[in-house]
């Protein structure tokens, strides 16, 4: 039993993504709006590969599908959809992904255990990762999704536009400083995404071990939810 559960754990992968665009909560078709966001980065953690950072969708999808179980927070509704509909930039020919985004999303969903979907079914309402992290682990999230969208845009613009513009006018020192600043925003983005992956992992492990997790509700009260995670 012990070895079985250990090997199951080693085939589990945790992941989270950040997006290029910001979700408009007032868009009439939320699914379509989510499909148009596009991946900026994705971070995974698994026992077999440790932390990995992806900047393009196809290698991330392949890496996820190489594992038996994919665990995340809101991945059925959000991350899997963004990933499946992100523009392909590189595709390894030896391990072809399905031709359509719909098929890819179905493959990802079939292996996914979504902590938010599970909690929503138990509670009858949604609950945020920040509220769970604080209530269960006493931890604060580093940043927010909207901040990650701005950091990604800044990192790209500084690197691709302003560093080149400065080089064009022979300001090497300025270009180097702008590149450094871009790299600083990129690093913040990656650190934030990784922190959320590790929060989801800790939350899941806490739920497995204690058969309950907790969140802070809108009135600031700590609420306990029983779970049967494994």
Residues that bind Zn ion (CB under 5 A): 46, 48-49
Task: For residue 213, give the DSSP letter.
Answer: E
Strand pairing category for 212-216 and 222-226: antiparallel
- Smallest separation (angstroms) from Zn ion to the CB of 194: 15
- Smallest separation (angstroms) from Zn ion to the CB of 49: 4
User: Is 61 or 214 the residue whose CB approaches Zn ion more closely?
Assistant: 61
- Smallest separation (angstroms) from Zn ion to the CB of 204: 16
Residue 155, classified by CB atoms within 10 Å of its CB into exposed (0-12), middle (13-18) or buried (19+), is buried
- Are 43 and 52 within 8 A, CB to CB? yes
Distance CA 229, CA 208 (A): 5
User: Is 48 or 123 the residue whose CB approaches Zn ion more closely?
Assistant: 48
Distance CA 87, CA 94 (A): 19
User: Is 35 or 63 the residue whose CB approaches Zn ion more closely?
Assistant: 63
- Smallest separation (angstroms) from Zn ion to the CB of 13: 6
Nearest to 31 by CA among 93, 92, 85: 85
Other C-beta atoms lying within 10 Å of the C-beta of residue 206: 18
- Smallest separation (angstroms) from Zn ion to the CB of 105: 21
User: Is 46 or 83 the residue whose CB approaches Zn ion more closely?
Assistant: 46
User: Is 13 or 155 the residue whose CB approaches Zn ion more closely?
Assistant: 13
Nearest to 224 by CA among 127, 141, 142: 127
């Amino acid at each position: 039993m012990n070895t079985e559960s250990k090997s199951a754990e080693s085939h589990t992968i945790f992941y989270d993504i950040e997006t290029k665009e910001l979700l408009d909560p007032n868009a009439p078709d939320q699914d379509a709006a989510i499909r148009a966001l596009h991946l900026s980065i994705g971070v995974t953690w698994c026992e077999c590969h440790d932390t990995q950072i992806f900047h393009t969708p196809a290698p991330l999808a392949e890496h996820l599908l190489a594992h038996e179980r994919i665990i995340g927070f809101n991945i059925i509704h959000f991350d899997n959809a963004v990933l499946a509909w992100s523009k392909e930039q590189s595709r390894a020919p030896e391990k072809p992904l399905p031709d359509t985004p719909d098929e890819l999303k179905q493959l990802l969903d079939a292996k996914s255990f979504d902590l938010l979907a599970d909690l929503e079914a138990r509670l009858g309402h949604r609950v945020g990762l920040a509220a769970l992290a604080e209530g269960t682990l006493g931890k604060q999230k580093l940043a927010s999704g909207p901040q990650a969208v701005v950091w990604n845009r800044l990192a790209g613009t500084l690197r691709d536009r302003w560093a080149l513009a400065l080089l064009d006018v022979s300001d090497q020192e300025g270009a180097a400083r702008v590149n450094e600043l871009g790299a600083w925003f990129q690093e913040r983005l990656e650190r934030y995404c990784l922190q959320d992956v590790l929060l989801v992992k800790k939350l899941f492990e806490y739920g497995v071990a204690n058969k309950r997790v907790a969140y802070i509700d809108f009135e600031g009260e700590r609420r306990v939810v029983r779970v049967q995670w494994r």
